[in-house]
Every structure is written in structure tokens, then in C-alpha cells.
Amino acid sequence: MIDKVAAVVVPGVAPFEMGIAYEVFGIDRRDTGGPTFDFTLCTPEPGPVPTKGGFSVHVDAGLEATEDADVVVVVAYDVLTDAEHIDVPPAYLDAIRAAHERGAWIVSLCSGAFVLAAAGLLDGRRCTTHWMFADRLAAAAPRADVDPDVLYVADGRVLTSAGTAAGIDACLNLVRTELGGEAARAVARRMVVPPQRDGGQAQYVVDPVPQQGDSLADLLAWMRGHLELDHSVPALARRAMLSDRTFARRFRAETGTTPGAWLTRQRVARAQELLEQPGVPVEEVARLVGFGSAAVLRHHFARLLGTSPTSYRRRFADVAS
């Protein structure tokens, strides 16, 4: 059972993530059947705290608020200003470590995971952060298992979340874990959000376009424009004027994967674009991207994105088009 929640903010704090902590844990929802928590916003140096948005918030409580908290929320902030250095106040790290040692939940929102990395709390744990920062988190916490595809990860009593709105998912998951599904649904209803989203970060990631300097860039662009075709390695190798073996080796060197895996990911990405257009039936989407049938499309959507084409369309379709 959780009761007292302390959310820590420092200069450069992200206002939206700060709002998530307050929205889930700071509002008394007993009038609509929800829980209430003893919520405190705190900071290493009480007073005005400048936000990433250019305005300040006044925070009265210091880090002593974390000393008896059941949950310590590490709110995202501009921790990544220097590629070689993670700037975290030492007192902040000490407070996080102490809270963890006495059994409190530690919840990081987005880039807050870098604070946990600096505190050593991610060593030997599975964790996540925003997909754009996953490689940097893996470098900052080399003993951690960074999963860039999920919305949140709970490993022991350390809960890390992906970018921005995924913090809502993580906090609702904590409410569900500690207080049950009805409490989480009551909070979600008041926030007008799903109590539990399906899928992961992969459905929000934009794949980079290959640079024209790459030796296979023209071929990759052609493949992207002809996803409906049946691309075999021998046919692609001939088009690139390479032997099958040389082509396969160069393809992996330039893309980091096999032709089949790369093609599948591009087909799924194109299917995502088409599903955002509500007039195209799912079966037609599958044909246009080269999967042939809706069943095959569903299989790859579930495997790569953790959701279904129908669920994805419900979330992302452009209803105005």
C-alpha cells in the first residue's frame, strides 16, 4: 500500500512530466471512487525552480520530503545538456539511494532514468527511457538492460518510463499494482485516458532515411518505393550488381540487419502510414505493403509494435481526412 508520494524537481524540469506526477498522485479523487495520496513537490534547494519551458515554479519542500515517502518520483529534466556528463546534484543522488534502500518505489519519468543511472539503481535491471535517448542511457548505465520498445518497465521497486505521456502509463501501473485495477481505472477516468495502453514505443518511432552517401542508399530507396514486390536476396543482389554473399554482408554493415528483417520493418512503417488514412481497408493495406493478407500484417504488427492494426488505426487515424 502506498500513501506518501514525493516528486523531485530540479532546474530544467519538464513541466508536462511534473504535471503527470501531480495529476496522478496529487489530486483527491475520493468523490469519484478514486484514491488520495499525501503528495509533495520537493527540490534540493527550495525556492523558485526554473522549468524547461522558461517559467519558474516555487517549491517550498526540500529533499527531506523523500525520507519517509512510499514513492519517490524522479521527474524528467534537461539532464542531457552535455553529451559526456550527467549533471545530477549529489544530495539528489543520496536521497534517491536512501529511499531505495529502505524499500520505497522509485519512479523515473522519461529522462529521469539518467538520474537513476547516476545513482547506480539501474545496474542489473531492465529499464527504459524515451526512444531517442535509449542508446545514451545504455552508455550511461552499461550494466543495465535498456529496452527502447516498451512504454514502461517495473523491475523490483524501480519503475522507469518512456517519453512524455508514457509517464502516465507508468504511474497508473503503479496505482494498479499497489491499489488494484479499480483504483487505477478511477484515476484514468478522471484524467480521460486509457487505464492501460497496448503496444510500446516502437509504434511512435520514425525510422531515419538512409543517407545518400551510403553505397546501398539508392537500392534502399527503390525497395521502399516497391514494398509490394517479392524481394529475394538474389534479385536484390543482382540489382546492386553484387554477389549474393557480398550483398548480404554489405546490407548488414549498412543497415545493421538482414534484408528480410529490414524489409519487414519498412512494410510495417508504410502500413502505419496507410492505417492513419481511415479510408483504406486493413486487407488492402496488407496488399499494398507486400504482406499479402491481413493475417500476416497482424502477425508482424503484434511482433514489432505490440499492438494490432485495428488498435493502431483507432489511436492514430486522421479523422479529418
Task: Tell me: do 90 and 183 sit in the same domain.
Answer: yes
242 located within any domain = yes
The CATH number of residue 304's host domain is 1.10.10.60
pLDDT tens readout for residues 218-243: 898 899 899 999 999 999 999 999 99
- Asked if 186 and 221 count as a contact pair (C-beta separation under 8 A), the reply is no
State residue 33's pLDDT score: 87
CA distance 17 to 35: 20
* Bridge partners for 105 per DSSP: 71
Task: Report the percent of the chain where pLDDT is more than 70.
Answer: 91
Domain end point (choices 151, 179, 201): 201
Task: Tell me: do 115 and 143 sit in the same domain.
Answer: yes
The CATH number of residue 48's host domain is 3.40.50.880
| Sign of the CA dihedral running 176, 301, 162, 135 | positive
Number of H helices, E strands in the chain: 13, 10
CA distance 192 to 304: 28
Task: Tell me: do 8 and 156 sit in the same domain.
Answer: yes
pLDDT tens readout for residues 247-283: 998 888 777 788 998 899 889 988 988 998 878 899 9
Please provide the average confidence, as pLDDT, over all residues in the chain.
89
Domain end point (choices 150, 185, 201): 201
What is the mean pLDDT of the segment spanning 122-130? Answer: 95
Cell digits of residue 12:
530544467
Instruction: Pick from 74-88, 97-111, 307-321 the range whose average pLDDT is largest.
Output: 97-111
Q: What residues make up the domain containing 72?
A: 4-201
Domain end point (choices 174, 201, 228): 201
- Asked if 5 and 39 count as a contact pair (C-beta separation under 8 A), the reply is yes
CA distance 131 to 135: 8
- pLDDT: which is higher, 135 or 198: 135
Task: Tell me: do 37 and 173 sit in the same domain.
Answer: yes
CA distance 13 to 167: 14
- Asked if 7 and 95 count as a contact pair (C-beta separation under 8 A), the reply is no
Task: Tell me: do 19 and 126 sit in the same domain.
Answer: yes
Among 73-77, 89-93, 147-151, which is the least confidently predicted range? 147-151
- Asked if 108 and 115 count as a contact pair (C-beta separation under 8 A), the reply is yes
Domain count, the chain: 2
From residue 226, alpha-carbon distances to 30, 231, 265, 286 in Å are 56, 9, 14, 14
321 located within any domain = no
- pLDDT: which is higher, 19 or 151: 19
Does 123 have pLDDT greater than 60?
A: yes
pLDDT tens readout for residues 147-188: 988 889 999 999 999 988 899 999 998 998 899 888 988 999
Rounded to 5°, the CA angle 4-7-10 comes to: 155
pLDDT tens readout for residues 189-224: 899 887 777 666 766 665 554 444 446 888 988 998
Nearest residue to 119 (alpha-carbon basis) of 138, 92, 156, 139:
92
CA distance 56 to 46: 12
Task: Tell me: do 168 and 307 sit in the same domain.
Answer: no
State residue 306's pLDDT score: 83
